[in-house]
Amino acid sequence: MNSKNKIFIIPFVVLLGLIMAGCTSTSDTKEKEIVAINQDDYIEPLIVANKESIRLEDGDIDLFVKRYGWEMNKSETGLRYFIFNQGDSYHPKVKDKVELAYSMRLIDGTDVYDSETDGNKEFALGKSDEINGLQEAVKMMGEGGKARLVIPSYLAYGMSGDGFLIRQRIPIIMEIEIIKITKSN
């Protein structure tokens, strides 16, 4: 090897050694820091945001009902309802099986489900995955009862929607008629 090549190789080897020394990790010898996340720092802001979302939706529903001139009652949970016909005097209890004819649309007017296309709904009151707003309304009526409901999203399909036609955080409008109530044993 001539001296000209040595001049280029020596700085190259020194530079390579420095690079390799810089790549060795000293974190292996240090303890890793664990940062604890305080859940309380996140819970309160989420609760405040959720309450604000519900307040805004509630206002939107009130404007919707007013625009159509509907006279509706409002339950403590926020369900809007108008019962056209109470039906029989017996109102279903938990575990009673209820069959009803219905139509359902979004607050923007889009039809989504109905008995003519999808068949009547049948469910055991308080023992099914049926939406809370519908179960609440059914408890107020007897067989033959008819009502119009405006169900806030948190009593309907909530933050996830139904996975098909109803998006998340969408209030729904239902027209229902109780066809049959079968008492539980």
CATH number of the domain that residue 76 is part of:
3.10.50.40
Does residue 144 fall inside a structural domain?
A: yes
Does residue 16 fall inside a structural domain?
A: no
Does residue 22 fall inside a structural domain?
A: no
90 with 181: CB under 8 angstroms?
Answer: yes
Contacts of 155 (CB under 8 A, 6+ apart): 77, 78, 79, 131, 132, 133, 136
pLDDT at 4: 53
Q: What is the CB-side half-sphere exposure of residue 63 using CA atoms within 13 A?
A: 8
Q: Round to whole Å and give the CA distance between 41 and 45.
A: 8
pLDDT at 134: 98
pLDDT at 11: 61
Residues of the chain with pLDDT under 70: 1-32
Does residue 47 fall inside a structural domain?
A: yes
pLDDT at 182: 97
Range of the domain at 71: 42-182
Number of folded domains that form the chain: 1
pLDDT at 17: 66
